[in-house]
């Protein structure tokens, strides 16, 4: 039976306020709270909440419907602060047992491309956030912007994930179809789910385009397209931003009615819905897939050039991660929070000078007038951040010295941990000994009393016998 795997992405960055050169060293708060509140609240009211309510109704109406979400850690923080009612709806969705939450980097960062240690740390922190909010542990990973390559697979497997979802890029697949489960060439136990770009974009990009030859798109027509794919193809992965529903395509286009009708027609055509974990657990890979260079779901190129395609972006990226080791060493909670917020891939995206296939520029989605303004503002913020890091660990310390210091600290931490365990063990032994000693004393006390009583009786008898003998005399 053919299956549909629906996945929805939610991410909103902490947008930066206008930060001038003269603010460096004087102002350590970098964020535009008004914009963050206003944008997130607006999108939540137009898209997130009605889309989630629609999905909840679909789950109640169709017992076989399933889907998955991936929500970045920084988006979860903002949702908790500005739109807590959405978190409540998500809890209801997850409580059905048919909605899966995926793992990803907490900061929606590009750390997987430069710093494996930071990547692993962010994935673990995101897992902890998901567990604390929803009581579940992600089993399938969705890296930032679906970025993936062979080099990442062993680490992802080591992080206890069963699968990874990424883009079904044409230049990688060649004649192969994205509608199968594959396994990673560098870690065969890791399963790969590939986004069906055409069918996903038919909804996310083209649904309300009146110039599109397939307009208007209806649920029955769409399910017919899926049903007409070759019978042997296993799974159709439809991955898109949740903003597709209500934000990119307003309610007036009929996008919510389209979504709600999909399970009805899928059921009629014998098509089921699965979560990513269902897919990687139940479906066998048809072969290995090797991806030598990082791919993503952005632009026609499906590479990382949307974030690292010019000198501005490279400069900001390298400068940011040049202090990664030092930030991980410090215990300043506020500094570490800023570290996450500044890693958001959006800040680099705003610096892009590329043009999209439809002629629009990346700056269309940017709060800045130009990529150069985005770069200047970010680098001013980053300069102040690095000053704060240097106050903790001076940049005059060479990396080799820093690594040696880090190694010493880690060794000391392990030694302290070992000694603490020994102390705990010794305390338990002492407590156990004291308990046994008390029990032994209790057990011996009656016997000792009995011995004393017996001795007293014998003494009394002896005294009595002696008195009787004396009286006879």
Catalytic residues: 145
Cα separation, 65 vs 53, whole angstroms: 14
Contact 297, 195 (CB under 8 A): yes
**Measured between alpha carbons, how far apart are the two ends of the chain, in Å?**
117
Contact 262, 223 (CB under 8 A): yes
Cα separation, 451 vs 351, whole angstroms: 93
Cα separation, 309 vs 361, whole angstroms: 13
Contact 387, 335 (CB under 8 A): no
Q: Which SS3 state, helix, strand or coil, does residue 138 take?
A: coil
What backbone torsions phi and psi does residue 70 show, to the nearest 5 degrees? -130, 120
Nearest to 141 by CA among 126, 121, 128: 126
CA distances from residue 435 to 108, 259, 272, 452, 457 in whole angstroms, order as listed: 54, 67, 62, 26, 34
- The angle, 0 to 180 degrees and rounded to 10, between the axes of the packed helices 49-61 and 255-268 is 20
């Amino acid at each position: 039976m053919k299956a549909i795997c629906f996945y929805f992405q939610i991410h909103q960055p902490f947008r930066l306020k206008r930060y001038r050169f003269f603010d460096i060293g004087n102002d350590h708060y970098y964020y535009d709270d008004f914009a963050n509140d206003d944008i997130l609240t607006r999108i939540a009211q137009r898209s997130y909440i009605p889309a989630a309510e629609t999905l909840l109704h679909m789950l109640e109406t169709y017992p076989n419907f399933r889907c998955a979400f991936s929500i970045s850690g920084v988006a979860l923080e903002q949702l908790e602060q500005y739109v807590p009612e959405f978190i409540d709806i998500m809890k209801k969705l997850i409580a059905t047992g048919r909605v899966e939450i995926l793992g990803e980097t907490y900061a929606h960062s590009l750390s997987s491309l430069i710093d494996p240690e930071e990547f692993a740390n962010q994935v673990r922190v995101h897992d902890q956030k998901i567990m604390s909010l929803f009581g579940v542990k992600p089993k399938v990973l969705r890296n930032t912007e679906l970025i993936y390559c062979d080099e990442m697979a062993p680490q992802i497997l080591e992080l206890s994930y069963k699968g990874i979802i990424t883009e079904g890029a044409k230049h990688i697949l060649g004649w192969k179809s994205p509608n199968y489960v594959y396994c990673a060439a560098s870690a065969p136990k890791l399963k790969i789910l590939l986004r069906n770009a055409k069918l996903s974009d038919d909804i996310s990009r083209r649904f309300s385009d009146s110039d599109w030859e397939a307009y208007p798109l209806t649920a029955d027509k769409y399910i017919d397209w899926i049903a007409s794919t070759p019978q042997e193809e296993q799974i159709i992965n439809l991955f898109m931003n949740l903003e597709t529903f209500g934000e990119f395509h307003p309610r007036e286009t009929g996008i919510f009615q389209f979504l709600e009708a999909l399970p009805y027609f899928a059921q009629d055509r014998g098509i089921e819905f699965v979560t990513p974990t269902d897919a990687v657990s139940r479906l066998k890979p048809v072969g290995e897939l090797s991806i030598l260079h990082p791919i993503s779901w952005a632009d026609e190129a499906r590479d990382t050039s949307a974030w690292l395609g010019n000198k501005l972006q490279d400069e900001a990226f390298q400068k940011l991660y040049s202090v990664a080791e030092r930030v991980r060493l410090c215990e300043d909670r506020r500094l570490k929070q800023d570290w996450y917020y500044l890693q958001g891939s959006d800040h680099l995206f705003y610096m892009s000078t590329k043009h999209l296939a439809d002629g629009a520029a990346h700056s269309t989605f940017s709060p800045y007038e130009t990529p150069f303004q985005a770069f200047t503002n970010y680098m001013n913020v980053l300069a102040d951040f690095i000053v704060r890091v240097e106050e903790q660990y001076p940049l005059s310390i060479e990396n080799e010295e820093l690594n040696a210091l880090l190694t010493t600290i880690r060794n000391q931490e392990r030694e302290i941990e070992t000694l603490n365990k020994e102390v705990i063990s010794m305390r338990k032994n002492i407590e156990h000994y004291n308990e046994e000693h008390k029990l032994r004393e209790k057990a011996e006390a009656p016997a000792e009393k009995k011995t004393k009583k017996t001795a007293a009786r014998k003494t009394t008898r002896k005294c009595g016998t002696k008195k009787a003998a004396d009286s006879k005399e």
